[in-house]
Chain A
Amino acid sequence: MDDFSSLLSGFQVALSWHNVGFMALGVILGIVVGVLPGLGGPNGVAILLPLTFGMEPVSAIILLSSIYWGALFGGAITSILFNIPGEAWSVATTFDGYPMAVQGRAAEALTAAFTASFIGALSGVVLITFVAPLVAEFALRFGPAEFFAVFLLTFCSFVGMGRDNRGKIIAALCIGFLLAAVGLDSISGDLRMTFGSMELMRGFDFLVVVIGLFGIGEILLTAEEGLVFKGKHAKIDLKVVLRTWATLPRYWVTLLRSAIVGMWMGVTPGGAIAASFMGYGLAKRFSRRGAQFGKGEMEGVLAPETAAHAAGTSALLPMLALGIPGSATAAVLLGGLLVWGLQPGPMLFVEQKDFVWGLIASMYLGNLAGLVIVLATVPLFAAVMRIPFSFVAPVILIVCAIGAYTISNSVFDIWIMLAFGLVGYVFKKLDYPLAPMVLALVLGDRAEDAFRQALLGSGGSLEVFWANGLVGGLVVIAFVLLLWGPVTEGIARLRRSTSAEPAE
């Protein structure tokens, strides 16, 4: 019950007046960020991160994580009203959400989506509350080799979970690692891959890269579509909310199933997108009204939203307990921890109790605040989408440039942002995944340190990676995850070809 009292004192931290204020501010900013094209969760957090350098870490992370919650809520608004998924994981929400809006049931769809998000996020937070301390305690025993094995596991599961473009996932991971290696090497003190350029000495700041890839790249993609949004109107009143809530208990199986799928997928990286599709697919498969899915079925909104948010929230579990983020936004938050002088990883639970439990408590409150705020302000944010693109786009681009500049007061960084904007545009069109690249960029230095230290300890022998059951087990799981997809697909293909032959 030690953790319980820690959580209570966490609530005391989170409930102080200025932290509640930051929470509300963060949620509202987050919804704006989620609704506007070109500003997503990772990008919004990256732009605001430099402004929090001077703040107290607890307040700063409450502000930034609230932006994350807000962005998750905001994504649902655009998917339902405009049929434009704000984030990749809200794609499945458009399948039934937009048809509902077309039928004039937008308010119902939005209420369902927000409530489902809230339930999903809540289950993720509960998971974090109870499991994260255990994981952290367990991870205290980890040495460099074990940590490298966990990194390996993270990256292998990325590759293994990817559907068909594994080559591109691997390439994106490598790019991230190599970008992280540019600049001053912290162990030897030498310059790497700077090719004599003074500007590259500092290396590539992942925040600049994130703003470029997600912000500028997204705007360029939006521009391509012809610069207009056409949306449905929605006005939510209390009656609709209550009526929708009254029907929710009927769907408890769907909600529970999606929450479990989401929690499971969220802890493994890259999970939120897969989770939302899995939640939707399973609901469609098992629902009695499965045939109606895609034509405006409320269950089809509930299932992916719950799963996506359970996954999005659970993605913070490995970030807190192991220092390994499960999503791009979690990676940016992790970068924030480093900036505020906190060392992410298992020691955080021992050394920074107030911080960790304040954050966890703020997750409960932030999601509750988010639900209330988003329900109350949907018409406002839908109106934001109606501001002409020719006005919104330059403002977003200016904000991106300011964000890139303020990270280290360098105009050169704005050029880097621009270059990565182009990279992001091309990569997104070619299905190169951006999240693994960002994750590898954030984790690159630490993965490399763990790898080098492990090898130093063993005198260069790779046997250190299966020296004991723990590290060996992790490495084995990593390779199983890596090879699972290709092997099962190969078997399926083999079976198909053998079963096809006799028919010929």
Chain B
Amino acid sequence: MPQPTETMDQPGGLSRRSVEVIVALCLIGLAGLVLYDSHGRGAGWDGGPQNGFFPARVGWIFLAASAYLLWKSVRRPPETFVTWWQLGQVARVLAPLVLFVALIAPLGLYVAAALFIIAFMLITGKARWWSVVLAAVLVPMACFWIFELQFRVPLPKGPLEAALGY
């Protein structure tokens, strides 16, 4: 998997050309990883195609394609990939989201969702405090009603739900 986070965190690296180059390099690295793994397990013929046979062939095409993309990306005219202001907007969504996902395992999805809504609305919106609290209480409760009670799909639960007897 390419790691675009790195490409976005680099200061000054937000011309489109450098992002293209970094993504192409990630893809080349990925192709290398695939080829290493497939050929390591055997990509040849052993009474039939070995299990690395198909991935290895795709891997070679992938390597060629990403090398071509790298060559093309170097020759791009300069252009802005994302402005700092836009990146700030994205970060304001992304930061609470990462926090939310991180909190699901320890706290359970519902509590994490409530905290997520509070954090998100405080960071991005100019919402009044009571509407924030209302949303943070009602949305998880609605989710609980729909998924847990109606569809009987168990979602990750934490200490609070355990204390309430679920």
**A interface residues with partner B (beta carbon < 8 Å):** 50-51, 167-168, 170-171, 174-175, 177-178, 181, 185, 187-188, 190, 192-193, 195, 216, 219-220, 223-227, 388-391, 393-395, 397-398, 401-402, 405-406, 409, 411, 414-415, 418-420, 422-423, 425-427, 429-430, 432, 448, 451-452, 455-456, 460
Q: Are A174's CB and B62's CB within 8 A?
A: yes
| A-B contact sample (12 more), CB < 8 A, given A178-B55, A448-B54 | A193-B34, A223-B124, A390-B121, A394-B96, A401-B101, A402-B109, A406-B147, A411-B156, A414-B101, A418-B97, A423-B4, A452-B49
Check A398/B139 contact, CB under 8 A, given A178-B34, A393-B120: yes
Q: Are A185's CB and B68's CB within 8 A?
A: no
Q: Can you report 22 residue pairs joining A to B where beta carbons are below 8 Å apart? A: A51-B153, A167-B65, A168-B69, A171-B62, A174-B61, A190-B51, A216-B97, A219-B93, A223-B93, A224-B82, A226-B89, A389-B125, A391-B131, A397-B100, A406-B153, A414-B101, A418-B97, A422-B4, A426-B7, A429-B81, A430-B19, A456-B48
Q: Is the interface of B mostly helix, strand, loop or mixed?
A: helix
The verdict on B155 contacting chain A, using a C-beta distance below 8 Å, is: yes
Check A401/B100 contact, CB under 8 A, given A177-B58, A452-B48, A452-B54: yes
Smallest distance from the beta carbon of B141 to chain A beta carbons, Å?
Answer: 12
Residues 13-42 of chain B, each 1 if its beta carbon lies under 8 Å from chain A, else 0: 000100110010001001101100110010
Residues 118-142 of chain B, each 1 if its beta carbon lies under 8 Å from chain A, else 0: 0011001101000100010001000
Residues 86-103 of chain B, each 1 if its beta carbon lies under 8 Å from chain A, else 0: 110110111011101100
Of chain B, the residue at the smallest CB distance from A460 is B45
Of chain A, the residue at the smallest CB distance from B118 is A394
Q: Which of B1, B45, B55, B104 contacts A181 (CB 8 A)?
A: B55
CA distance A174 to B35 in the complex (A): 13
**B interface residues with partner A (beta carbon < 8 Å):** 1-2, 4-5, 7-8, 16, 19-20, 23, 27, 30-31, 33-34, 37-38, 41, 45, 48-55, 58-59, 61-62, 65-66, 68-69, 72, 81-82, 86-87, 89-90, 92-94, 96-98, 100-101, 104-105, 109, 113, 116-117, 120-121, 124-125, 127, 131, 135, 139, 143, 147, 151, 153-156
CB contacts (< 8 Å) of A227 on chain B: these are: 89, 124
CA distance A419 to B151 in the complex (A): 28
CB contacts (< 8 Å) of B131 on chain A: these are: 391
Of chain B, the residue at the smallest CB distance from A181 is B55
Smallest distance from the beta carbon of B2 to chain A beta carbons, Å?
Answer: 6
CA distance A420 to B4 in the complex (A): 10
CA distance A227 to B91 in the complex (A): 13
CB contacts (< 8 Å) of A455 on chain B: these are: 48-49
CB contacts (< 8 Å) of B53 on chain A: these are: 452
Number of A-B contacts (CB under 8 A): 175
CB contacts (< 8 Å) of A460 on chain B: these are: 45, 48-49
Q: Are A178's CB and B19's CB within 8 A?
A: no
CB contacts (< 8 Å) of B20 on chain A: these are: 430
Of chain A, the residue at the smallest CB distance from B66 is A171
CA distance A192 to B38 in the complex (A): 8
CB contacts (< 8 Å) of A418 on chain B: these are: 97-98, 101
Q: Are B104's CB and A401's CB within 8 A?
A: yes
Of chain B, the residue at the smallest CB distance from A53 is B153
Check A178/B58 contact, CB under 8 A, given A390-B127, A456-B48: yes
Of chain B, the residue at the smallest CB distance from A219 is B93
Q: Is the interface of A mostly helix, strand, loop or mixed?
A: helix
Q: Are A405's CB and B155's CB within 8 A?
A: yes
Of chain B, the residue at the smallest CB distance from A440 is B58
Q: Are A391's CB and B58's CB within 8 A?
A: no
Q: Are B49's CB and A456's CB within 8 A?
A: yes
CA distance A456 to B51 in the complex (A): 13
CB contacts (< 8 Å) of B101 on chain A: these are: 401, 414-415, 418
CB contacts (< 8 Å) of A178 on chain B: these are: 30, 34, 55, 58-59, 62
Q: Are A397's CB and B116's CB within 8 A?
A: yes
Q: Are B143's CB and A398's CB within 8 A?
A: yes
Q: Are B55's CB and A390's CB within 8 A?
A: no
Q: Are B125's CB and A391's CB within 8 A?
A: yes
Q: Are B109's CB and A405's CB within 8 A?
A: yes
Q: Which of A401, A423, A452 contacts B109 (CB 8 A)?
A: A401
Smallest distance from the beta carbon of A387 to chain B beta carbons, Å?
Answer: 11
Smallest distance from the beta carbon of A416 to chain B beta carbons, Å?
Answer: 8
CB contacts (< 8 Å) of B5 on chain A: these are: 422
Q: Are B156's CB and A405's CB within 8 A?
A: yes
Q: Are B104's CB and A411's CB within 8 A?
A: yes
Closest 6 CB pairs of A and B: A390-B125, A174-B62, A426-B4, A170-B65, A223-B93, A394-B120
Smallest distance from the beta carbon of B27 to chain A beta carbons, Å?
Answer: 6
CA distance A429 to B79 in the complex (A): 12
Smallest distance from the beta carbon of B132 to chain A beta carbons, Å?
Answer: 9
CB contacts (< 8 Å) of B23 on chain A: these are: 426-427, 430, 432
Of chain B, the residue at the smallest CB distance from A418 is B101
Smallest distance from the beta carbon of B32 to chain A beta carbons, Å?
Answer: 12
CA distance A393 to B34 in the complex (A): 36
Check A393/B93 contact, CB under 8 A, given A51-B153, A192-B52, A398-B139: yes
Of chain B, the residue at the smallest CB distance from A398 is B113
Q: Are B89's CB and A224's CB within 8 A?
A: yes
